[in-house]
Amino acid sequence: MNILFLTSSFRMAASARYVRNPQLTTIKPNYPGNKMIGRQYCNGEALYEPKLSTVIRWQLSENKQKEEKKADTWAPEVIDCTAFLKSQEDGLVWLGHASFLLRVSGKTILTDPVLFSSIGLRRRHALPCRPEDLLNIDYLLLSHGHRDHLDEQSVKLVASQNPHLQAFGPLGLPKLVQGMARKLPVQEAGWWQQFELSPDAPFELFYLPASHWHRRGLFDLNTVLWGSFLLRLPDGRTIYFAGDTSAADHFEQIEKLFGPLDVALMPIGAYKPGYMMNLSHVNPHEAAKAVNQLRAGHVVPMHYGTFDLSDEPASEPLRELQHVAHGGMLRGELHAPAVGEVLRWQEWE
Q: What is the pTM of this model?
A: 0.94
List Cα–Cα distances, 297 to 99, 259, 334, 345, in angstroms.
21, 11, 9, 11
Please say whether the beta carbons of 281 and 267 come within 8 A. yes
* CB-based contacts of 198, cutoff 8 Å, min separation 6: none
pLDDT, tens only, 182-222: 999 999 999 999 999 999 999 999 999 999 999 999 899 99
Angle at which helices 250-258 and 284-294 cross, to 10°: 30
Q: Which residue, among 319, 14, 21, has the nearest Cα to 170 in the 3D structure?
A: 21
Question: Residue 56: is its pLDDT beyond 80?
Answer: yes
What value, to the nearest 5°, has the Cα angle with vertex 115 and ends 228 and 133? 110
Residue 37 pLDDT level (bands cut at 50, 70, 90) = very high
pLDDT at 4 over 90: no
pLDDT at 12: 44
Q: 54: pLDDT confidence band, cut at 50, 70 and 90?
A: confident
pLDDT tens, position by position, 174-184: 999 999 999 99
Arithmetic mean of pLDDT over the chain? 94
Confidence at residue 349, expressed as pLDDT on a 0 to 100 scale: 73
Q: Do the beta carbons of residue 166 and residue 183 sit within 8 Å?
A: no
